[in-house]
Amino acid sequence: MKVNVKIKRFNPEADKRPYWAEYSLEVRETDRVLDVINQIKWEMDGSLSYRRSCAHGICGSDAMLINGVNRLACKILVRDLGEVINIEPIRGLPVLKDLIVDMEPFFDSYKAVLPFFINEDPEPPTERYQSAEDREIFDASTKCILCACCTTSCPVFWTNGRYIGPAAIVNAHRFIFDSRDQGADERLQILNQSNGLWRCRTAYNCTEACPRDIPITKAIEEVKRELLWRRA
Ligand code: SF4
Ligand code: F3S
Ligand code: FES
């Protein structure tokens, strides 16, 4: 089928402002958007810049705003979009070139919530056991691939780039509710700061955007409740 693809492009070394570049090409309807972009780059315009790696929805590097919705380019088929495909960089992070944004502010928020296991007890002779029920409590949060689809679809983040964002809260949730971890108080204190989780206005954009189907808004609400419960 023939598709018309518009890509918002920007080269800070050559362009004063972003502009839409248009490409018309023949693709298969079972192609993914990543295949289409690859075809444009490899056969039509080698200067097009974007991130990708695994091509299978695992690495999280090809998040883009596709027809107005944040998605991974490797997880969306052309036939689900139709003949007109508009592609922009994800919003709220500085554009470095074309579809590549500066992910550092996003990863700074991720790092701020101490996204690693904390336990000061002496190491046990065997594994630190956990029941299946306790593991289930944070199971969904372990599935995050740090693609930033959630944070960059959040209207609060668009207007306040210092909001810690849903991805960081999901990754805090993963450890706060881990029965073996001892760092919950510290993480909750970090999330309780002025640009922390209370900025969330329950917009749900994050949950709708997540390619891993993580119930992000629910996780945020659980962390809010935990914070209130511990302060009571
Ligand atoms: Fe991506 Fe979902 Fe993780 Fe957000 S929570 S970074 S949308 S995988
Ligand atoms: Fe934003 Fe998600 Fe909250 S979109 S406002 S973090 S529910
Ligand atoms: Fe890795 Fe799409 S290229 S998630």
**174-197 pLDDT, tens per residue?**
999 999 999 999 999 999 999 999
Q: Tell me what pLDDT residue 174 has.
A: 98
| Ligand 2 nearest-atom number relative to CA 205 | 4
> 45 CB contacts (<8 Å, ≥6 apart)?
21, 23
Q: Which fold has domain 104-231?
A: Fumarate Reductase Iron-sulfur Protein; Chain B, domain 2 (1.10.1060)
* 3-state SS, residue 165: coil
Q: Is the CB of 53 under 6 A from ligand 3?
A: yes
Let me know: does 149 contact 165? Beta carbons within 8 Å: no
| Ligand 3 nearest-atom number relative to CA 74 | 2
Let me know: does 147 contact 72? Beta carbons within 8 Å: yes
* CA–CA gap between residue 152 and residue 182 (Å, rounded): 30
Kindly state the DSSP code that residue 58 receives in the 8-state scheme.
Answer: S
Q: Which of 59, 113, 214 to mutate to test the pocket of ligand 1 (most atoms within 8 A of CB)?
A: 214
Specify the pTM.
0.95
| Ligand 3 nearest-atom number relative to CA 51 | 3
Cα maximum dimension of the chain: 63
Q: Is the CB of 34 under 6 A from ligand 2?
A: no
Q: Tell me what pLDDT residue 148 has.
A: 98
Let me know: does 164 contact 150? Beta carbons within 8 Å: no
Right CATH for 2-101 from 3.10.20.30, 1.10.3720.10, 3.40.50.1000, 3.40.50.720: 3.10.20.30
Please count the other Cβ atoms lying within 10 Å of the Cβ belonging to residue 12.
11
Q: Which of 195, 220, 223 to mutate to test the pocket of ligand 2 (most atoms within 8 A of CB)?
A: 220
Q: Tell me what pLDDT residue 161 has.
A: 95
Closest by CA to 150, choosing from 99, 118, 113, 109, is 109
* Residuewise pLDDT in 10s, the chain (232 residues): 999 999 999 999 999 999 999 999 999 999 999 999 999 999 999 999 999 999 999 999 999 999 999 999 999 999 999 999 999 999 999 999 999 999 999 999 999 999 999 999 999 999 999 999 999 999 999 999 999 999 999 999 999 999 999 999 999 999 999 999 999 999 999 999 999 999 999 999 999 999 999 999 999 999 999 999 987 6
Q: Show me where the domains of the chain are located.
A: 2-101, 104-231
Q: Tell me what pLDDT residue 231 has.
A: 77
